[in-house]
Structure 1
């Protein structure tokens, strides 16, 4: 927790030193502060070892809570998602006779939901306390502080009540995935040999899709390593050949989009885990970069985060449903057993079935949603991996980044090329559904 507290202190000192007393709006209405707040949740998620799918749930509900606050404060520009997202019937409305700072309330609602959806309550208390101190020391009237905090609490209550009916708690006690060690089926891989991650995620309530199987992907190529002319065998040899001859840029591309939240490193008898932002955390970092690049104001920044997080959430459900329907083996498993027992992929193989590719699915979905929020052809440099020792990469658009991700997972050696292509295609469909179906910005 100490690194997070240090970061929070830096944020508070930065904004405090740059503003005069009674300038609370300059600080609390700065869109960069909202992006920094999302980053704070990202750090907490990373520190608690949440899987990418569980992380997407934190981000989705938290960003929806913040969005509902700004929609209530700017009803001429933004529409509530109540009645649009599955199961979300009503959201608490603000009292008409009270002065509320909606930006401050949005920050609080984001933090309160972000921690309460999965974490023990209070995980972000140190951060919300710092926001309260900014409001007090920089001149927000006491009644406005009280009103804003009360409204944030009311919205949090509405969103939390909605979240508790999404089947998440039910899946916590669901049966573990039964490994069927037959040719072509998924089995755990070295060095972690971990249990299958979230095999029941397809049972989670979607937000925009009608259900988890609304966009059913086609079956993968049939397992066949005996017939060298079969599509499956060609896929196997294609990824093996690519892994055996990676260029420096291809390796960097794979590392950049790795986003493994908990890589197990083994050196002799020494084992240790290195952490990074997971795929949804990486894409939320891109939202912040894109919002700043396009000079989005506070409300538009909140809107962009919410729309992207909703797409990420549904895309994970779409992909994870397919993963446990088809239950396909990873390239490493097949190559080691039938072709080369010493072969290793460039990236560490994650503990869940291969088809479909989760990262390709959610990246395509996020790119579509983010493009609809901030615009097409937004050129940017993604600096989000610098803190993990990985050089930045630049893109002509959000869609171009998602296109590159298709190759990154292939070059990483953890997904067959066909899987990456199909996953990208269906991720775009999910992202399009979010962009088209949701009436958010008027």
Structure 2
């Protein structure tokens, strides 16, 4: 009932500001596309998609929207078909006079977002809301139908292409084997959950030649006996930093925690809290940055798409490293060799430590976003307010990525080398994507 009421209020406000038939002012608003992305973000959040699967949800939906935009503005934007080597040519529009391309882009995004998530139909209510909004703003029925038909055609082509990325095959792949050898990852408290997505490196990349492209340099060897070893020093740094956190460091750790499913345990009571995962947080930042920069509708769609591609490929590359090294988490080794009661400030996620996923992905998307908006865009990131976490000021995307990486040390869930080497890898991934993809002419 609340959602319907909000929609009605939105339509009343839009209608009061515009004349009937002046639908383009409402439909072509880049903020409306940002709200459309947020609809998918909310579905991902509510259904506990882990971050790497979330990145897949975002990338196909975003590419669908972008291909519609590129078809509608061929002098401004290049199709990704062929630039992504395995991506086929997308259907070209015929009756362009009866297609509103921004409208079609949002419908395609929503249709694909609905197809790659669950429960089935979770976004189709919003799909109908968009059509109702267009009607209420005076979009002619022929343009509504033409936009819907073209959006559905592109969405179908994107979904057919997506079937070849090996995702379905990895659903039945073997689970991670837990062993007791020194230095190897094992499940961590409080959930002691199975390792998440140990075969994600088998997913087809978008721009990277393979999962091992731009891979992180090797981490230090596990060595707990030599107090002068790189590993021992890194382990003790995690404990010492965690034992003396400042309020600012706690805020950084909380702000970039981005744990999509935290299990809270108090005595015999257990309950879960949800937040955006790292790719969801960064997709939200795209919308804030686009608004701050004054980007138009098409540029906003392109920025979301490049960011989603960087996030997707960075996760595949990072996961290749995680399940090559199967590196132990700080919490495990500190509990075993230093302090059995020590706990990190934030909750350790259920997969190996090296390299840091957040550091890798953040560095990659920072390069993508910098290529779209520049290196000095300053804005307030309000993404976490809905979870009760105060805003942070962003001075540049690259600085934000560095802070996101450091947050994992402050949070006690990563060694410094996880973050540093992950960030180096992520930056290379982002640079490669920026250099290879020619989107805006």
TM-score, length basis structure 1: 0.97
Query: In the alignment, which residue of structure 2 is the partner of 1:292?
Result: 291
Query: In the alignment, which residue of structure 2 is the partner of 1:303?
Result: 302
Q: Deviations over 1:16-44 (max 9, x none)?
A: 45433212111110000000110111001
Instruction: State the 1:395 CA deviation.
Output: 1.9
Distance in 2 between residues matched to 1:221 and 1:203, nearest whole Å: 25
> Does 2:352 correspond to 1:356?
no
Distance in 1 between residues matched to 2:131 and 2:369, nearest whole Å: 30
Query: In the alignment, which residue of structure 2 is the partner of 1:137?
Result: 136
**122-131 or 204-213, which moves further after superposition?**
122-131
Does the residue aligned with 2:98 lie in a helix, a strand or coil?
A: coil
Distance in 2 between residues matched to 1:181 and 1:3, nearest whole Å: 51
Alpha carbons 1:16, 1:134 under 8 Å: kept: no
Distance 1:97 1:47, change over 3 A: closer
Alpha carbons 1:4, 1:43 under 8 Å: kept: no
Distance in 2 between residues matched to 1:51 and 1:3, nearest whole Å: 28
RMSD of aligned Cα (Å):
1.4
Distance in 2 between residues matched to 1:8 and 1:318, nearest whole Å: 40
> Does 2:374 correspond to 1:375?
yes
> Does 2:53 correspond to 1:54?
yes
**361-370 or 215-224, which moves further after superposition?**
215-224
Query: In the alignment, which residue of structure 1 is the partner of 2:22?
Result: 23
> Does 2:168 correspond to 1:172?
no
Does the residue aligned with 1:381 lie in a helix, a strand or coil?
A: strand
Distance in 2 between residues matched to 1:7 and 1:264, nearest whole Å: 32
Question: How many positions carry a matched residue from both structures?
Answer: 441
Q: Deviations over 1:397-428 (max 9, x none)?
A: 11110011121111000000011000011101
Distance in 1 between residues matched to 2:306 and 2:43, nearest whole Å: 21
Distance in 1 between residues matched to 2:384 and 2:36, nearest whole Å: 18
Instruction: State the 1:294 CA deviation.
Output: 0.4
Query: In the alignment, which residue of structure 1 is the partner of 2:316?
Result: 317
Q: Deviations over 1:156-199 (max 9, x none)?
A: 01110110100000000111111122111000011011110000
Alpha carbons 2:11, 2:136 under 8 Å: kept: no
Query: In the alignment, which residue of structure 2 is the partner of 1:345?
Result: 344
Aligned residue runs from structure 1 range 124-163, under 5 A: 124-163=123-162
Q: Deviations over 1:37-79 (max 9, x none)?
A: 1011100110011000000000000000000000000000000
Query: In the alignment, which residue of structure 2 is the partner of 1:115?
Result: 114
> Does 2:389 correspond to 1:386?
no
Alpha carbons 2:216, 2:424 under 8 Å: kept: no
Alpha carbons 1:311, 1:434 under 8 Å: kept: yes
Query: In the alignment, which residue of structure 2 is the partner of 1:232?
Result: 231
Query: In the alignment, which residue of structure 2 is the partner of 1:328?
Result: 327
Instruction: State the 1:98 CA deviation.
Output: 4.1
Does the residue aligned with 2:164 lie in a helix, a strand or coil?
A: coil
Distance in 2 between residues matched to 1:256 and 1:422, nearest whole Å: 22
Distance 1:388 1:7, change over 3 A: farther
Distance in 1 between residues matched to 2:259 and 2:137, nearest whole Å: 40
**94-103 or 53-62, which moves further after superposition?**
94-103
Query: In the alignment, which residue of structure 2 is the partner of 1:191?
Result: 190
Instruction: State the 1:143 CA deviation.
Output: 0.9
Distance in 2 between residues matched to 1:190 and 1:330, nearest whole Å: 11
Does the residue aligned with 1:218 lie in a helix, a strand or coil?
A: coil
Q: For structure 1, which runs of at least 5 residues remain unmatched after alignment?
A: none
